[in-house]
Amino acid sequence: MMKLRFVLSNLLAAGLVLGLSVLPARAAAEEAVIVALGDSLTAGYGLPQNQSFPAQLEAALRKRGHAVRIVNAGVSGDTASAGLKRLDWSLSDDIDAVIVELGGNDALQGLPPAATKAALSKIIERVQGKGLPVLLAGMEAPRNLGKEYVTSFGEIYPDLARQYKIPLYPFFLEGAALDSGLMQRDGIHPNAEGVSVIVKNILPDVEALLSTLQPNEDG
C-alpha cells in the first residue's frame, strides 16, 4: 500500500511539474514575435536595456493589448552589410515579422549608397523568402556629406519599399533628431525620452504590421 502511495505521489508531482512547464510554452506560442534588426539605435546604446527601443516598443504594444515580444537584434556599429551577415542567426523559427533599421552607420562612414541599398535588398529578400512581413525604417544622411550624397542615400528606402511592396517608416529618428533634450551628448543616439518619442511615432506602423499576421491556427 505504501509503495502504491509512493508511486501515485510521484505521478501527481510529475503531472504538476508537466502542467507548469506546458503552460508558459503555450502562452509563449500565442505571442507574436517581432525581431528588431538594427544598429546601435535599436540596441539601445548608452541606455539600460529596459529603455532600449525594443523594450519600450514591447511595453507600449502590451499596454495597448497586444500579446507581442520584441527581440532586440541590434548591434552597435553595424552597417547594412554587417546586418546581412548575421541575419540568418537573428531569425529563429518562431519569428512572425521583422523591423529593419539599418543604414545609419553606412551614412556616417560615407559608404556608397548603392552598396547600402544592395545589402538592404538582400535582407528584405531573405526575410520575405521565409514568408515574413517586413517594416522598413528609413534613415537620413548627415547634410555635411553634400547634396548629391544626401539625395542618393535618401532615395534608398522609398525605392526599396516600392520594389518589395513593404511598408516604410520614413525616418526612424523622427521627432527626436536635432532635439538636444531628446538626444544623448553625442547628438547621434536618443536618450530614454527620445526613444519614447520614437516609439510613440512608429507605434501605428508596428500595429499595422501586427494586423497582417495570420492567427496561429494551432493555438
Look up 186 and say whether it is catalytic.
yes
Residue reference for cell 514575435: 33
| pLDDT for the residue numbered 96 | 98
Residue reference for cell 539599418: 102
Long-range residue pairs from 193-201, CB within 8 A, at least 24 positions apart, any chain: 195/44, 195/47, 195/51, 195/52, 195/53, 195/56, 196/56, 198/53, 198/172, 198/173, 198/174, 199/53, 199/56, 199/57, 199/60, 200/60, 200/175, 201/174, 201/175
- Sorted by where each begins, the domain ranges of the chain are 31-211
**How many Å separate Cα 78 from the centre of its chain?**
14
| pLDDT for the residue numbered 1 | 45
Residue reference for cell 548608452: 46
Range with the poorest average pLDDT among 1-15, 48-62, 102-116, 146-160? 1-15
DSSP for 117-173, please give it.
Answer: HHHHHHHHHHHHHTT--EEEEP----GGG-HHHHHHHHTHHHHHHHHHT--EES-TT
Look up 81 and say whether it is catalytic.
no
Taking only the tens place, the pLDDT of each residue in 5-23 is 444 344 333 333 333 333 3
pLDDT surpassing 50 at residue 216: no
Look up 66 and say whether it is catalytic.
no
Confidence of residue 50 (pLDDT cuts 50, 70, 90): very high
Among the listed residues 31, 218, 37, 29, the one whose alpha carbon sits nearest the alpha carbon of residue 127: 37
* Complete edge-to-edge strand list for the sheet that includes strand 168-169: 68-74, 32-38, 97-101, 134-137, 168-169
| pLDDT for the residue numbered 18 | 34
Q: Which of 88, 93, 186, 218 is catalytic?
A: 186
Confidence of residue 30 (pLDDT cuts 50, 70, 90): confident
Taking only the tens place, the pLDDT of each residue in 71-118 is 999 999 999 999 999 999 899 889 999 999 999 999 999 999 999 999
Strand partners, 34: 70, 97
Which whole number is the average pLDDT over 113-127? 98
Confidence of residue 189 (pLDDT cuts 50, 70, 90): very high
Distance CA(184)–CA(187), nearest Å, equals 6
CATH 3.40.50.1110 fits 31-211, yes or no: yes
Distance CA(79)–CA(145), nearest Å, equals 17
| pLDDT for the residue numbered 215 | 57
Q: Which of 96, 106, 189, 196 is catalytic?
A: 189
| pLDDT for the residue numbered 92 | 87
Q: Which of 40, 52, 81, 196 is catalytic?
A: 40
Return mean pLDDT, the chain: 88
